[in-house]
Amino acid sequence: MSVLSQGKDWSSEHYSDVAMLLGHCSNVYSADVPTAIQELAAVISRGEQAEAFAAMTPEDAVSWLQSGSAGEAGQKFAGFLARHGHRCIREAEFYEKSWRRAPSKVVTVLQSILKMGRLEPLQKNVLSVDEAIAKIKSPTTFLGRLVLKFVLPRAQAAVGDREWGKSLSIEMVDAFKEAYWRLGDLMVLEGRLPEKELVFFLSHLEIGTLLKTRSAKLVTKANRRKRIYPKQMALEFPRISIGHPKPAYENNGAEEAYVVTSVCLKGMPVSQGVVRGTARVVTSLEAAGHIQAGEILIVHYTDVGWTPYFPLISGLVTEIGGLLSHGAVVAREYGLPCIVNVKKATSVIKTGDQVILNGTLGTLEKLD
Q: What is the mean pLDDT of residues 3-13?
A: 73
pLDDT of 102 reads 93
Asked whether the predicted pLDDT for residue 80 surpasses 90, the reply is yes
Res. 290 pLDDT band, cuts 50 70 90: confident
* Model pLDDT, residue 245: 86
CB atoms under 10 Å from CB of 318, counted, come to 27
pLDDT value at residue 117:
79
pLDDT of residue 253 exceeding 50, the answer is no
Mean pLDDT of 173-190: 96
Report residue 259's pLDDT band, with 50, 70 and 90 as the boundaries. Answer: very low
Residue 62's pLDDT band (boundaries 50, 70, 90)?
A: very high
Q: 126: pLDDT confidence band, cut at 50, 70 and 90?
A: confident
pLDDT at 138 over 90: no
| 28-42, 120-134, 145-159, 212-226: least confident range | 120-134
**pLDDT, position 333:** 82
Mean pLDDT of 118-132: 75
What value does the mean pLDDT of the chain take? 87
pLDDT at 343 over 60: yes
Band of the pLDDT at 261, cuts 50, 70, 90?
A: very low
Percentage of the chain modeled with pLDDT above 70: 93
> Would you place residue 254 in the very low, low, confident or very high pLDDT band (cuts 50, 70, 90)?
very low
Tell me phi and psi for residue 194, to 5 degrees.
-75, -25
What mean pLDDT is predicted for residues 228-236?
87
Average pLDDT value for residue range 209-235: 93
Note the pLDDT of residue 251.
Answer: 43
* Each residue's pLDDT tens digit, 22-48: 887 777 888 888 888 989 999 999 888
- pLDDT tens string 88-116: 988 999 999 999 999 999 999 899 888 88
Report pLDDT for 256. Answer: 45
The type of residue at 87 is R
pLDDT higher than threshold 90 for residue 274: yes
Give all strands of the β-sheet with 274-282 in edge-to-edge order. 264-266, 363-366, 354-358, 274-282, 296-299, 315-318, 338-340, 268-271
The fraction of the chain above a pLDDT of 90, given in percent, is 45
